[in-house]
Structure 1
């Protein structure tokens, strides 16, 4: 099980995240492509940081929503979604290639990620964007009890899927993340480390109501936008080896 983190989300004079402190502890960096966050200079700096730390790189495309940090759904046609995703992938792929870095996968951001998981038409548009790209790229999506269905769907487009779990989020009984608007949606450090240990040793999580949910996980998402978060990443790194 690998560790991934959303990075490169600063923009202009606005700073988001502690990328330099996080990068040495992770395996995969999901780098913003400029639509929800990031800019060309931030993208270059983040790619250079990933290269220096031998961290795999993924595109982190979102809706065109800088003001809302990509956390608001935007109604788009399939053609628009394909173009939006392709544009962002191509941007980071081109910059990465010029720096001797290979883009390996795509993980949508924020509302686009949530919409991908909830709406098969959005998911299919993203799969079409990857399928039509000039070379293969993997798609990272949430590992739920429906992961076999998602993988079969992706295979129709010749796209490989990476199943993702979340270290700091509480799971509902259906395998979805508990809404942030509800109490207990985000784990404290103690619960987070217990969840990581359970995923590592048993391949499962304990849901909100105490049920055991088995998940096929390839990568674990961690967040490092504050010092406590970075310290948690260090502890998680030790847990999963």
Structure 2
């Protein structure tokens, strides 16, 4: 594709999503405004990134404070802010989680979890679920169901079987000693806000334990209190 150098620069951006005829210029709290001054209620929040609101005074204050002290540092060095972040996470994350690795986004987190499962188990087969979404990087895309996203990227780095969501019997039937991990969203975001039943999540947990597989719980969209509890999987009383 050849671009006209005089065209609107925003049109040169590669589009992941269908473009909307709306250009936003600022936000405040739960609202955003377009170039014509029209106000909108932001129910999107950039896929949950801005769920504390736009221009949240506390967030701005802390960002400015950190920028004045240290903008960035290689992960080979310890920093006070990283140590503080780990201490805060330890207070709210499930107590059986003992290690932390800071990444830039959800897809990277899923990639790391999948790689860890493959390394620790020595297995290459994964189970995911119909309508599940876990990211668009190569490994995360492999466990993402939507055929529209997957088209043209075969072969993927590991074998994945997609089972019906909320089907505990399918999990019990298909999880065996060849499975490295089962990855699941307690609430499917892109999949239509389907909520996993406690029976379903417990079946995954028990089947993984029985066959030495890992259970990867993707709470990128459902975590940090968005469902009324800190972590959506806590409702099923599983670890």
From the CA coordinates, give the structure whose radius of gyration is larger.
Answer: 2
| Higher percent of residues as helix | 1
TM over 0.5: no
Higher relative contact order (CA 8 A, sep 6+): 1
* TM-score, normalisation: structure 1: 0.31
